[in-house]
Amino acid sequence: MKDNYKVGIIGATGMVGQRFITLLHDHPWYTIEVLAASPRSAGKTYKEAVGAKWAMDEEIPKSVEDMIVMNATDDVDKIAGMVDFVFCAVDMKKDEIKALEERYAKAECPVVSNNSAHRHTEDVPMIIPEINPEHLEIIPSQRERLGTKRGFIAVKSNCSLQSYLPAMAVVNAKYPIDHALVTTYQAISGAGKTFNTWPEMVDNLIPYIGGEEMKSEVEPNKVLGKVEGNKIVPSDALSIECQTYRVPVSNGHTAAIFFSFKDRENIPSVEEIENMWREYKGVPQQLELPHAPKQFIYVYTEAEAPDQPQIKTAREIDGGMAISCGRLRKSTQYDYKMVSMSHNTLRGAAGGAVLLAELLTAKGYMD
């Protein structure tokens, strides 16, 4: 590992890009070297380009406000020559994002992506760092396909998944889960919006988020899959059905989950499941990565805190990088039901990508 890595943020003016800036401007390993966005923003100072779209609680960091925004699509080779790797979170058509990320990778610039475009590319790892860090082993195969020495693409999963899949995956590793019914209650920042830019969401609920139910049903099986040869083979063991709602919450996705185990003779108790969550430590905790939450999964018991996890109590725990679970109890139609939540633009988006980059850096993939 080097002492310091220069990073670029592609899509720096967007909701996720702004989060990257707040997480990276004082990062112990990384220095923000490049900010890039659409041709509309290119050539302006960051402060001018982001303007009233700045949606973070804190001010724009002084170190970036006068940086000149580069053109994310025209300046690929120039940017690749200035940084060690880029974070990417852009609002473009899926095929355009796929092509753009491959251009950066082929210019020998690793890409840590928040976009969904490459999530189903067989040799692109989709990582929740605590759950499937071993999928990074696919990177040499991807480099071979791309014809690169350094360049590759690694992605994080959909933001809503991070609110419930970690809790299920930890239990699933010891007691395989057969099927689950999930309903997600997703914050408006997940659509890149605030209440100022989406006033219709005040006092409202929309029972539809385009494409999101499919992501919640399909992506978990890639995360729970295995590297076999030059691809990641999704698991076919866990069946999830999902319904998604957009709710009037600024930040924080919540999920209500009903689930049943495969082995009808060997069902863990509530206490055993809660202890598995409390005691779980993934590779990020073992390596003490800068953005690893000290405790990955926080537990609210039904007896002590039946009204938790609430958005306002739980979303900022451990810098918004922890997952919170509660209300685990017997179900009449499934084995158990429960609630879990996480911060969608921290753990679910920019924070999850920064933690993934830290894992990649610690494992030598950024050198």
* Contact in structure between 297 and 347 (CB atoms under 8 Å): no
In the bound state with ligand NAP, the residue whose beta carbon lies nearer, of 22 and 41, is: 41
Distance of closest approach, residue 126 Cβ to ligand NAP, in angstroms? 12
- Between β-strands 153-155 and 111-113, what pairing exists: parallel, antiparallel or unpaired? parallel
Written as six digits, the tokens of 3 are 């002492």
In the bound state with ligand NAP, the residue whose beta carbon lies nearer, of 81 and 211, is: 211
In the bound state with ligand NAP, the residue whose beta carbon lies nearer, of 181 and 209, is: 209
Q: Which residues bind ligand NAP (CB under 6 A)?
A: 11-17, 37-38, 40-41, 72-73, 89-92, 114-116, 159, 189-190, 192, 344-345, 348-349
Distance of closest approach, residue 185 Cβ to ligand NAP, in angstroms? 14
Whether 120 sits among the annotated catalytic residues: the reply is: no
Distance of closest approach, residue 270 Cβ to ligand NAP, in angstroms? 31
Distance of closest approach, residue 5 Cβ to ligand NAP, in angstroms? 22
* Contact in structure between 282 and 131 (CB atoms under 8 Å): yes
| Dist. CA 186–CA 215, nearest whole Å | 14
| Dist. CA 80–CA 62, nearest whole Å | 24
Distance of closest approach, residue 47 Cβ to ligand NAP, in angstroms? 13
In the bound state with ligand NAP, the residue whose beta carbon lies nearer, of 41 and 142, is: 41
Which residue among 27, 253, 291, 343 is the active-site one?
253
In the bound state with ligand NAP, the residue whose beta carbon lies nearer, of 91 and 271, is: 91
Sorted by sequence, the CB contacts under 8 Å of residue 294 that are 6+ apart come out as: 285, 318
Which residue among 159, 242, 325, 343 is the active-site one?
159
| Dist. CA 60–CA 35, nearest whole Å | 13
| Dist. CA 323–CA 228, nearest whole Å | 29
Written as six digits, the tokens of 91 are 């609002």
The DSSP call for residue 237 is S
* Contact in structure between 186 and 180 (CB atoms under 8 Å): no
Which residue type is seen at 68?
Answer: I
Distance of closest approach, residue 157 Cβ to ligand NAP, in angstroms? 9
Written as six digits, the tokens of 264 are 């009808």
What is the rounded (10 degree) CA torsion for 200, 204, 206, 207?
Answer: -170
Cβ-proximal residue to ligand NAP, closest one? 14
In the bound state with ligand NAP, the residue whose beta carbon lies nearer, of 196 and 332, is: 196
Whether 253 sits among the annotated catalytic residues: the reply is: yes
| Dist. CA 237–CA 221, nearest whole Å | 8
Helix ranges (DSSP H) in 130-251: 139-146, 161-172, 212-223
Catalytic residues: 159, 253
